[in-house]
Structure 1
Amino acid sequence: MIGWMKVYNFKGAKKPLQVDAKLYSVNQLSICDTFANWIQTSYIPKGGLGDVRRTALEKLGLYNQNKAALPQSYGAVAKIYTFLKYDKGKMVPENNLGLNWSIMANAVPGWEASDISSPTQYYFTMPSFESEPGYETQQKIHDLSTNSNVNPYISFWVKNLEAGGGTDYVLLCKDNRSPFIQLKKGEYLRLLEQVIPRVYEIEKKKLYEREQGDQKRAEPFVKILDDKQRTRLANLERLKEKYKDRLAEIALVNAQPSLTDLDTKRDVFSNGYITDAESTSGRMPVYKVDPAMAELCKKDQPQWILVSWWWSPNQPVEKHLHESIVNNFNFGHLYNFFFAPEKVKGQPYKPLRSPTYKEAVVFTDESEQSKKIKADKTVFFFDDFSTTPVGKKPNGWSSKLNAEGKPCLVAMLDGEPGNWAELKGNESFVPTRLKGPLPQNFTISYDVVVPQNFTWGGKPLAIRLSKETSSENTQSFLNVSIRPGFSGREGEVEIEPKFPSTPGYLNTSKYFPAPGFSNNKKNNRITVTIKKKEEDLQVFIDQRKIAEYNKAIPAGLLLNTLSFTHGRSDKETEKYYVSNIKIIKE
């Protein structure tokens, strides 16, 4: 678990804080305390070491002068450090890398449009899913509209500027009236008209500073600036003429709009040149803060609140943070506290769900088939997932999360009896109840089903039998991977062995046909059987032997782990179902 470095229970600020031209009142700073306390009440870091700090807008410096135009913003940020080390017997962060969850009053999201922003007016864009490859999957994962805790409010996802992935945002504002205004084409063109001469003067000043005021030495460079200035103004006039009857439309621009677009005859609102046919694919609005609301941000009460966090669905630490926010944190109380205070007057903050919540493990009745098979003393292990309700993680098994953040789950298949474990891009599906080494001589069998139109060339399903000297430290292994064919054609089996400490035994991968395993039926089902006797190895698909080795696995080598893996899933139909996993002592 690890948890918080310290639980603070902040009591409220005692004095105001001046940061550059912004004065943060005692009430505003006390709201930072409130946010920090609510974060720690709603979430306990799992797999990381957490800390929470109160914060306001960063101090202005040489490279962030435009942030002077941002409204007065303040709040709390939780940092969950994921790279840890021991220092004098105590767990401490190894570096500053980790996860962030912030609750900020009057914060502005997205990417600064630096070429058009100034210390008196800030502009920004919010690149979303459309700029990401395979965005449909990302959009589905980060869609918060079905979460009843979040969906009363505005939610969106913004691509990260430098790293991969993006950030989830929930915007809470009175009556869901967003403080962010999209610029129209007319306003954007007027803005360019103001920015071009301003940038010209800034660049000329830098030029003379570089040349130490030597006018003769600066003259050729000034000429270049003058030419650029004339080109930009001429192309701006062309744009004004082209869009003179469409000035009320939303201005759609690049993620990072730049004046360099005007250095050629490119259309700032389209993906080509001014004379080309219009194309706005991948373009997005540019925003500014409503000036009236920005002015009100100086008052004690927030005008809006921005909750943000980033996470990857296949990382357990990050997924736990995400699930804690959307299921535990009380967004309704946060909204009412500031925008409908009469609804929560006298009511202390309580999370919707305890941060120590654990989903109860539910068992269903074991099937008669399972009871009968387990009564046979030659059966070392058996599972048909009959003790697990449909839609739940298989009891007695663990699996890694797939790219959508889902573990293996139990499913029922139309036309196939019993329960099945679904693997869709899940790795290391491992039976936790399988104790001790496998028998020296054994037969392992399991049923596999793939759905109709399983993606040809998709990743195979592998079973790995291995000798581990410690957790995930594999010394020797045998992989048997299968994948279906297409349109009635036979599938493929790969037998991949590795026994490096025993020369002369099976150590070369080889492919074999998988007869009867294709993707043309509603349910494409086969039984895979692996038999080891002394040093001999046989592999069967249904009742047909497809491979046999006489000197495969050393007789004295006891394999002690079993796992299934499906490395990746790119399509909805690219998944495997397994059941009736049986190990017999021979």
Structure 2
Amino acid sequence: MKIIVLISSLAISMTTQAQVYKERIGFTLESIAEIDIGWIKIYNRPITPTGKTLSTRVYSAKQIGYSQQFIEWMQQSYLPKGCLDGAGYYQNAIPKFSGTNSLLGNAINEHLAALPHMYGAFSRMYMYLKKDENGKFVPQNNFAAYWRIEANQLQHISMPVSFISSADDYYFVIPDFSSNSKGYSYDDKAASNLMNFDKYLKDYKHFYIPPKIVEDDQQYVVILSKNNELPFEKVTIGEFFTQAEKQFPGWQKITPVSTENFSLAQKNLTRLKENYKSKWNNIAEIKLSNNQIELQDFVNAKEGNTDIFDNLDIYGKEGAMPTFPILKVKKTALALCKTDQPQWLVIRWTMGMPNASFNKYLHESILNNFNFDYVYNYFFGKNKVVEVYKPLRSPTGK
């Protein structure tokens, strides 16, 4: 009996020691990496969802119901391991004036009003944990990775071209290096196909966004849309210059230049319009570094200097950097986004700690378990899906 007690005590001691806790940080990621910690709460969707109104935006009961379904699909496909997971749903951010923001910051925030009608759900993986008085894991802080499913998402997978955008029109570029002739850089190539990302999602538009381009963390993005066609229009060089000219007076109030320089910017714009006359109907493509244009860029666009559409290296060779078309959502699609039928669906997840076990396990679980085909057919298939969602594989399996 004494031997049994001793062995049991040792086992408990070893288990306790394995979970290494550090003050103000929480349990080290390595010490809890193999524990199926699970969800804070398993979500049960109400039988009758309730609609919601935010400012001038009205989200129908059906749209809220879809958001709640997204949570169920995620929870049925993924069992959090090495982290604690919470979930919820949300809608578009409503643009608000901030007294502590700059004029430029408030102007760019106003452009959020032109974004499509969006609603979705998130799964938040808390990575640093502690235990409460009952011995249950709880978040130590708010550091987390995210998995999201969103109808009509655009803001967080694109980069705004703010100079020609407004509260009525949102112009943007999507940093999809997988569709670019130059492809990913050497540093991003391996990450772009982590665990055969391309193989698993070959039937749908998908791409990897490196860190610090759209958000701090790197993202894996999958977009589902009918027949894999997105309702976006490529903007011409002519439309770019027309919109830019229209926005000149407004930006002079927001990021003003001297009267002399404003006049120079106008002259340079006139010269650029003349120079690009033969390319007026060509697609406007820019480098990612050129998405945040300001009046000063037109002040500097003197004869002999590079302009927004130039893509030269230090030796004057054309095509030095990847360029991406400026896009906008089709007006008909913008209106349809407000209906109960999503126009496109974005499924994306962050890999802020790609070497951490919990983050790798999330990525692996989505690729192996999440039923992308079901979701596509549910919203965009020829016949409405009637059977309930089932993951490709059980998240409790190995």
Question: Do the two structures share a fold, i.e. TM-score over 0.5?
Answer: yes
Query: Does 1:120 find its partner at 2:168?
Result: yes
- Report the equivalent of 1:244: 277
- Report the equivalent of 2:391: 351
- Aligned partner of residue 278 in structure 2, secondary structure: coil
1:513-524 counterparts in 2 under 5 A? none
Q: Which runs of 5+ in 1 are unaligned?
A: 205-223, 359-586
1:106-505 counterparts in 2 under 5 A? 106-108=152-154, 109-129=157-177, 134-141=187-194, 144-147=197-200, 150-161=201-212, 166-203=218-255, 224-255=257-288, 256-259=291-294, 260-265=296-301, 266-271=306-311, 278-279=318-319, 281-311=321-351, 313-340=354-381, 342=383, 344-345=385-386, 347-358=387-398
More helix by share: 2
- Report the equivalent of 2:122: 77
| Cα distance in 1 between the residues matched to 2:49 and 2:216 | 40
Q: TM-score, length-normalised on structure 2?
A: 0.78
1:40-55 counterparts in 2 under 5 A? 40-55=75-90
**One-letter amino acid matched to 1:134:** D
Q: CA deviation at 1:6?
A: 0.6
Q: CA deviation at 1:241?
A: 1.9
- Aligned partner of residue 100 in structure 1, secondary structure: strand
Q: 1:35 to 1:69 in 2, by over 3 A?
A: same
- Report the equivalent of 2:33: none
| Cα distance in 1 between the residues matched to 2:75 and 2:140 | 22
Q: CA deviation at 1:128?
A: 4.6
Q: CA deviation at 1:180?
A: 2.6
| Cα distance in 2 between the residues matched to 1:115 and 1:178 | 24
- Report the equivalent of 1:102: 148
- Aligned partner of residue 169 in structure 1, secondary structure: strand
- Aligned partner of residue 75 in structure 1, secondary structure: strand
Q: 1:472-509 CA distances to partner (integer Å, 9 max, x unpaired)?
A: xxxxxxxxxxxxxxxxxxxxxxxxxxxxxxxxxxxxxx
**Conserved? CA contact 1:49–1:92, under 8 Å:** yes
| Cα distance in 2 between the residues matched to 1:290 and 1:280 | 31
- Report the equivalent of 1:517: none
Larger Rg: 1
Percent identity, aligned pairs only, is 35
**One-letter amino acid matched to 1:295:** A
- Aligned partner of residue 80 in structure 1, secondary structure: strand
- Report the equivalent of 1:213: none
Query: Does 1:32 find its partner at 2:67?
Result: yes
Q: CA deviation at 1:250?
A: 2.1
Task: Tell me which stretches of 4 or more aligned residues in structure 1 moved more than 6 Å.
Answer: none
**Conserved? CA contact 1:126–1:158, under 8 Å:** no
Which of the residues 113, 123, 128 maps onto 1:68?
113
**One-letter amino acid matched to 1:25:** S
Q: TM-score, length-normalised on structure 1?
A: 0.54
**Conserved? CA contact 1:50–1:78, under 8 Å:** yes
| Cα distance in 2 between the residues matched to 1:144 and 1:189 | 38
| Cα distance in 2 between the residues matched to 1:258 and 1:198 | 14
Q: CA deviation at 1:284?
A: 2.2
Question: Greater RCO between the two (CA within 8 Å, min separation 6)?
Answer: 2
**Conserved? CA contact 1:197–1:229, under 8 Å:** no
Q: 1:120-143 CA distances to partner (integer Å, 9 max, x unpaired)?
A: 111222235567562333334386
- Aligned partner of residue 134 in structure 1, secondary structure: helix
- Aligned partner of residue 247 in structure 2, secondary structure: helix
- Report the equivalent of 1:92: 138
Q: CA deviation at 1:308?
A: 0.6
Q: CA deviation at 1:203?
A: 4.9
**One-letter amino acid matched to 1:233:** Q
- Aligned partner of residue 147 in structure 2, secondary structure: strand
**One-letter amino acid matched to 1:281:** M
| Cα distance in 2 between the residues matched to 1:28 and 1:257 | 33
**One-letter amino acid matched to 2:292:** P
| Cα distance in 1 between the residues matched to 2:72 and 2:246 | 45
The number of residue pairs the alignment matches comes to 334
Q: 1:265-305 CA distances to partner (integer Å, 9 max, x unpaired)?
A: 231011459xx664451332222212211110111121111
**Conserved? CA contact 1:269–1:280, under 8 Å:** no
| Cα distance in 1 between the residues matched to 2:140 and 2:172 | 34
Q: 1:159 to 1:238 in 2, by over 3 A?
A: farther
Q: 1:6 to 1:101 in 2, by over 3 A?
A: same
More strand by share: 1
Q: CA deviation at 1:75?
A: 1.2
Q: Which runs of 5+ in 2 are unaligned?
A: 1-35, 98-105, 178-182
**One-letter amino acid matched to 2:56:** A
Q: CA deviation at 1:257?
A: 3.1
